[in-house]
Amino acid sequence: MSNLAIKANYVGRTYKVKASGKRRDQDKSAPKLLTALDGVDLEVKQGELFGLLGPNGAGKTTLIKICTTLLAPTSGQVSVAGLDVVKDAQAVRHKINMVSGGETSGYGILTVRENLWMFCQFYGIPTKEAYRRIDKLLRVVELEDKASTRISSLSTGQRQRMNFCRGFITDPEVLFLDEPTLGLDVTAARIVRKFTRDWVNENPTRTVLITTHYMAEADELCDRIAIINNGKVHACDTPQNLKKLLQKQPVFKIVASRIGLEAIEQLKTVSGVVRLTAKYEPEKDALDMSYILEDESAIGAAVTKLTSIGGNILSLKKEEPTLEDVFIKLVGKGLTEVDENVQP
C-alpha cells in the first residue's frame, strides 16, 4: 500500500476566460483559455506537513480544489489517500477536509457551536462526540466564550478561528489549509500553527497540505515545500535544501573590534575559510566581517583565531538565504504581482 497521501500526476486544468471590462472588439489576440495548472507532478507523503507556495494566480487554490474533489482536472490524475479524486470522489471526501482563509463558512443566524455541530452532522459524527470535539477545539483557539454567539456577531478573526475548528473537527486523514491564518492576530496565528504541527505529529497517518503567503510560516511549519508559479512546480524540497539552491556554503557575519590589515590576512588562512571580506564601519567603530566557510564547523576555528589575535567579538550570526530569497530567485517576482485580465 502506497504511503503517499497525495499524488498528482501531470495534472492540468484550463479555464475558459471571459473578456475583461474592456471593449470586446479590442485585443482580439487575447487568449481564450487560461491554463491554471500545467503538468503538475507532486507527491506528498503520509505524515507530512507540506507547503505550497506561489504568487496570486499561481494555481495553488486550483490544485487544492482538484484534490478536494471540487474541481475536475482537465488532464492528468490526482489521488488522495490512495483514492482517485475523480472516480472515487465520494470515498475521498470521507478522508479529507479543507479550511480556506478569509471566508465565512456558516449561517449567520446560528451560533458557533450550532454551525460546527451542523458540519459534524454532514460528516456523520454523533452529536455527543461532536460536542466533545467542538468544546476541545474551541478551547484550543480560545473561542470557548463565543460558543453561544451568532457568527454574524463575530469579528473576522473569530470567524476564521471557527472556520479553522471546522476543518479539524472531523479528524481527516488529509487536511487542506488554504491560507488558514489569514485574518488572525499574531497570538491566534501562533496557536493555530502550533496546533497544526502537534496535530500532525500526534498521528503519523495525518497529513496536511498548507498554502500560505507568509514565508516564515512555511519555513517554520513545513517538512517540505513546493514552489508553484504559472501552473508549474518550480522546486520541491525541504526548506533547508531549497535555501541551499541559492547558497551551498554557510555564511557567518561577525562584527568585531577593529584589527589591523595583517591580522585580517591571518584570518583568511584559517582552515575551512573559503573567503573573508571585511569592511570598517566608522559609525560603529567596528569591523563588519563576512566569512564564507566550507562547513559550519569551521566557525569555531575562525572565532578562536580572531580572539587570539586580539579581536573582540561584538556580534556573530549565521546568514542564510530566506525562503523569500529562494522564492524570488525561482519565480522571478514578488508574491503580490498578478496577471492582468485573468478571470477563471
Partner 1 sequence: MYNRSVHQRVVHFLRAANGRAYPRIWGLSREPSWVFFDVLVPLLNTTAFVFLYRAMHAPESYVGFVVLGATLSAYWLNCVWMMGTQLHWDKREGLLELYVLAPVSMMALLWGMAIGGFYQATLRAVAIVLVLSIAFGVHFDLMQWPMELAIFSITMLALYGLGMALSSVFLMWGREAWQLALALHEPAFFLTGLNFPLSKLLSSLPGFFTFISAIIPISFGLDALRQLMFPGEIAGVLSPMQEVLVLCGLAVFFVVLAIFALRRMEWLARVQARLSLRWQ
Partner 2 sequence: MTETAASSLALTLRENLRTFRIASWLGWQIESNWADPIVFLIFSILRPMAAALIIVVMYQVIAGGVRDDFFEYLFLSNAFFVLVTQALAGMSWTIFDDRENYKMLKYVYTSPARKFAYLIGRAVGKIGIGILTTLLLLAVGILFLHVRMDVRTIEWGWLSVYFVLGVIILVSLGMVLAGVSLVIARHGEFIGEVTAGSLLLVSSAYFPPDILPIGLKQLSLAVPVTYWLEAMRRSLMGGVLTTTFNGARVPLSPYLAIFSNVDLLLILTISAVVCSIGSYYFFSWVEQRAKEKGMIDRVTGY
Q: Which does 88 bind (CB under 5 to 8 A by kind): partner 1, partner 2, none?
A: partner 1
* 33 binds partner 1, rule: CB under 8 A: no
Class of residue 145 by CB neighbours under 10 A (exposed 0-12, middle 13-18, buried 19+): exposed
| Closest to 100 measured CA to CA, from 178, 192, 184, 172 | 178
DSSP letter, residue 251: E
CA–CA separation, 175 and 68 (whole Å): 9
Cβ(246)–Cβ(329) under 8 Å? yes
Out of 104, 149, 249, 266, the only residue in the binding site for partner 1 (CB under 8 A) is 104
Rg (CA), the chain: 25
Binder of partner 1 out of 29, 124, 279, 283 (CB under 8 A): 124
Q: Which residues contact 300 (CB under 8 A, 6 or more apart)?
A: none
C-alpha 266/C-alpha 124 separation (Å) is 72
Give residue for cell 478551547: 139
Among 33, 109, 314, 338, binds partner 2 (CB under 8 A): 109
Closer to partner 1 by Cβ: residue 41 or 103:
103
Q: Confirm or reject binding of residue 148 to partner 2 (CB under 8 A).
A: no
- DSSP code per residue over 329-341: HHHSS-TT---SS
Q: Is 216 in the site for partner 2 (CB under 8 A)?
A: no
Question: CB of residue 162 vs partner 1: minimum separation in angstroms?
Answer: 13
Please identify, among the stretches 83-91, 103-111, 192-200, 233-241, the one whose residues bind partner 2 according to the rule CB under 8 A: 103-111
**Length in residues, the chain:** 344
Contact residue for partner 2 among 9, 35, 74, 104 (CB under 8 A): 104
CB of 104 to partner 2, least distance (A): 7
Grid cell digits, residue 133 = 470535539
Residue 112: name the closest of 163, 168, 184, 156 by CA.
Answer: 163
Q: Which three cell numbers stand for residue 192?
A: 493555530
CA-to-CA distance for 284 and 315, rounded, in angstroms? 12
Find the binder of partner 1 among 33, 109, 216, 338 (CB under 8 A): 109
Question: Is 118 near partner 2 (CB under 8 A)?
Answer: no
Backbone angles phi, psi at 87, to 5 degrees: -75, -35
Rounded to whole angstroms, how far apart are CA atoms 56 and 64?
14
Out of 17, 19, 91, 264, the only residue in the binding site for partner 1 (CB under 8 A) is 91
Among 97, 158, 160, 196, binds partner 1 (CB under 8 A): 97
Choose, by CB under 8 A, the member of 44, 46, 63, 65 that binds partner 1. Answer: 65
We find the least distance from the C-beta atom of residue 153 to partner 2, in angstroms, to be 8
Picked from partner 2, partner 1, none, the partner binding residue 152 (CB below 5 to 8 A depending on kind) is: partner 2
Dist CA 308 CA 134 (whole Å): 62
Rounded to a whole number of angstroms, the minimum distance from the CB of residue 223 to partner 1 is 25
- Read off the C-alpha cell for 269: 588562512
Query: Binding partner 2 by CB under 8 A: which of 3, 87, 102, 108?
Result: 108
Candidates 102-110, 192-200, 237-245, 327-335: pick the segment binding partner 2 (CB under 8 A).
Answer: 102-110
What are the two backbone dihedrals, phi and then psi, of residue 20, each rounded to the nearest 5 degrees?
A: -80, -170
Smallest distance from partner 2 to CB 182, Å: 17
Q: Which stretch binds partner 1 (CB under 8 A): 94-102, 133-141, 253-261, 299-307?
A: 94-102
Per CB under 8 A, residues contacting partner 2 are 104, 107-110, 152-153
Per CB under 8 A, residues contacting partner 1 are 15, 65, 68-72, 83, 88, 90-91, 93-98, 100, 103-107, 109-110, 114, 117-126, 150, 166, 344
